[in-house]
Amino acid sequence: MLEVLTYLHGPELVARFQRRCGLVLVEAAHHNQGRTRAPAHADNKPRVQVQGTWDHQDNNSKHRNMENGCGAGGCSRPQYEVRNWLLHFLFLFSSALGHEIFYITCLPCIHWNLDPFLCRRLVNIWTLVMYVGQMMKDVLKLPRPHSPPVVKLETRVSAEYGLPSTHAMAATAISFTFLLSAQTRIQFQFEVGLLIAVTLSSLVCLSRIYTGMHSVLDVICGALISAVLVFFTYPHWETFDHFQLTSRISPILALALPLFLSYTYPELDHYCTTRGDTTTILGAWAGCSVGYWVNVQLGQTFEPQGELPVPLPTLTAHALTVSAARFLLGVVALVGTRQIVKALSLQVLYSWYRVPRSNESARRRREIEVPYKFATYTSVGLVNSILVNRVFFLLGLL
């Protein structure tokens, strides 16, 4: 069994998959032979470690570089040849479905254009699986695939550990939570929904291997852990919904518990994006949860009225135009909220801790990173769940 796990976690299996899909590492001797080189954003250097009073000191940086696939001299820019551009762009797009740009646009879009109930279910499960996945990464501390032989196409999370793949966890949880929850809300053919769920989750899982960010074992474990969490929580979804929407202590717990989990997130011996990303997720959930509770108290949830399940909306030109308008206005509202609250919270925290505003690296400190990210994304969640649909109503877009 140990040999099988070692094989599945090995970088050669990832490199072999990349070669089969047309992504080939180019040897240094062939760099000038007209092959396609990695663009500037594919620089595979690890995140620069923060120096000074406000930064985490790291005496094991060389060891971590070796763990994450970099040599003793650091990570050089990978040179690669793309032989199948269709698969290349398909996997890059699929991988992007696990990044913040997807969560801040597509999940709220379900709230604005389809059913807030479904968005609430997705946000609840997404938060649970992502917190479990991020915690497991920093507890298990298993490295990402080595480069070479693997080609790494992303750099932001290169300092993170690998197992489990949170992309695989989120894709599995979102796809199948939507499938299970939509049955009672929307009329659709279950077999078609199942095919779409399997396809989307599989593409995201495979994309993490193609981009060189995870081993096969990372992806398998991520999908399995997510499936287990969905399976064991599914019988309690209705009970949690009722508590979340009606209990007087729901908004208090929705703010206090995520903030506590953010501050008590495990400390590493080096700066890593996992704590900040986890705080972002918990903050977004806190804002949405409070917002859903407020909507119920105000008696306006914007959920479909009448007998359920309702038919899927007809795709007319007018409906598409209105949906596009809601999407654009909603994204502007969320991104604007994000930028404004982020700037204000950083200004307050920098003043409180007497840190020069020019010290960009200070935001990596827990005392600053946690409150500014939590405040920012709690505000985003509140705007999404309370304000945006009311603006649509005033503008005649509902």
Local confidence pLDDT in tens for the 398 residues of the chain: 888 888 899 999 999 999 999 999 886 335 444 444 444 444 443 333 333 333 433 444 444 444 444 443 344 555 888 999 999 999 999 998 888 788 888 888 899 988 999 999 999 999 999 999 999 999 998 999 988 889 988 877 667 888 999 999 999 999 999 999 999 899 989 999 999 999 999 999 999 999 999 999 999 999 999 999 999 999 999 999 999 999 999 999 999 999 999 999 988 878 888 899 999 999 999 999 999 999 999 998 888 887 888 888 788 899 899 999 999 999 999 999 999 999 999 999 999 999 888 787 888 889 999 999 999 999 999 999 999 999 999 998 87
> Rounded distance, CA 259 to CA 257, Å?
5
**Catalytic residue flag (residue 270):** no
Of the candidates 9, 31, 167, 236, the residue annotated as catalytic is 167
Of the candidates 214, 242, 270, 318, the residue annotated as catalytic is 214
Closest CA to 92 of 152, 174, 170: 152
- Structure-block tokens of residue 94: 């699929």
Phi, psi for residue 343 in degrees, rounded to 5:
-65, -45
CA distance readout (Å), 281 to 202, 239, 328, 370, 381: 23, 22, 22, 11, 10
Contact 282, 261 (CB under 8 A): yes
Q: Residue 27 has what pLDDT?
A: 66
> Rounded distance, CA 131 to CA 190, Å?
29
**Catalytic residue flag (residue 214):** yes
Q: Residue 49 has what pLDDT?
A: 33
Q: Residue 272 has what pLDDT?
A: 83
Question: Where do the domains of the chain lie?
Answer: 1-238, 250-300+314-398
Closest CA to 227 of 178, 180, 176, 278: 176
